[in-house]
Amino acid sequence: MTTASKKRTVKQTVAQREKVYGSFAEKAEIIQELKAVMQASPNWEELPAAHKEALEMIQSKIGRVLVGDFNHADNFHDIAGYAQLVEDTIDA
């Protein structure tokens, strides 16, 4: 596969995902605002890395819901998955 065909493939993937998840730039603005609120909270610095990462990934999925196809069930499935990972970490 040539570099040109790889670029086309990436562009096609981005275009397809934008249809489902919405504009990357618009979504990034919302997600960064949500993350800033979390990071300003009293407990943020005390949270383990797994908790922080799960919360940030959940915010990313929430951003997709707010900008893209809000009925795309995979976003909510992913949110549940990240919450489950933290729950499993707490229970371990």
* Percentage of the chain lying above the pLDDT 70 cut: 95
Phi, psi of 69 (to 5 degrees): -75, 105
Other Cβ atoms closer than 10 A to 56: 15
Domain that holds residue 81: 3-91
Looking at this protein, which amino acid is placed at residue 84?
A: Q
* Count of the separate structural domains present in the chain: 1
Statement: residue 45 has pLDDT above 70? yes
- Maximal CA-CA distance, the chain: 50
| Radius of gyration of the chain from its Cα atoms, rounded to whole angstroms | 16
Phi, psi of 71 (to 5 degrees): -100, 10
Question: Which tops the pLDDT comparison, 1 or 79?
Answer: 79
Task: Indicate whether this model's pTM tops 0.75.
Answer: yes
